[in-house]
């Protein structure tokens, strides 16, 4: 499993890691056929969602699902993890509502028709960066400049004329 996980950190033209991925994948797929359903699900889940490409909270959710039906102490641990997950989900929902109110109040989506209206996407950037549930304020505040970066990107990609964009770029440089 670790060889496969390591191969997932591959960048272009790293043939050794490409070979390691193919080798690890073949080994794991062969091993899955010999395992009980629960362990096979764990391995297949890890192959589908490598650790470094996943958010810890979502990994925990998948891990909980794969442990169902095991020993009593694990069931108690699962209950605590489920409660924690529900608390964090509630926090994220409250934060998202704040962001949606801010974005709607800003009115940019109405004024600038070319701007993408994707507050959830912008918010998910901050969720990935600031995973600690206590960082509520920071996630909400960081989402705002992320949104504005997307607005500027849309302005450059879709709307702006060369002379206006040059003037804007010069202004930002100052």
Is the per-residue pLDDT at 173 higher than 80? yes
Is the per-residue pLDDT at 57 higher than 70? no
Domain boundary assignment for the chain: 2-54, 90-173
Is the per-residue pLDDT at 3 higher than 80? no
Average pLDDT (6-14) is 77
pLDDT of residue 41: 82
Model confidence over 69-115: pLDDT tens digits? Answer: 556 767 777 788 788 889 999 999 999 999 999 999 998 888 888 88
Q: If DSSP states are collapsed to H, E and C, what string results for the chain?
A: CHHHHHHCCCCCCCHHHHHHHHHHHHHHHHHHCCCCHHHHHHHHHHHHCCHHHCCHHHHHHHHHHHCCCCCHHHHHHHHHHHHHHHHHHHHHHHHHHHHHHHHHHHCHHHHCCCCCCCHHHHHHHHHHHCCCCCCHHHHHHHHHHHHHHHHHHHHHHHHCCHHHHHHHHHHHHC
pLDDT of residue 45: 80
């Amino acid at each position: 499993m670790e060889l496969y996980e390591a191969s997932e950190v591959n960048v272009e033209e790293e043939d050794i890691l490409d070979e390691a991925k193919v080798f690890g994948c073949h080994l794991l797929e062969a091993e899955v056929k010999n395992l009980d359903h629960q362990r096979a699900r764990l391995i297949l889940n890890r192959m589908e969602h490598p650790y470094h490409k996943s958010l810890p909270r979502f990994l925990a959710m998948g891990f909980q699902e794969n442990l169902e039906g095991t020993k009593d102490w694990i069931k108690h641990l699962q209950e605590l993890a489920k409660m924690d997950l529900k608390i964090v989900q509630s926090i994220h929902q409250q934060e998202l509502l704040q962001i949606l109110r801010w974005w709607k109040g800003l009115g940019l989506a109405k004024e600038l028709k070319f701007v993408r209206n994707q507050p959830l996407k912008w918010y998910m950037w901050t969720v990935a960066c600031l995973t600690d549930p206590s960082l509520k304020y920071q996630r909400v505040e960081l989402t705002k400049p992320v949104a504005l970066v997307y607005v500027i990107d849309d302005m450059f990609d879709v709307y702006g004329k060369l002379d206006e964009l040059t003037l804007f770029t010069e202004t930002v440089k100052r």
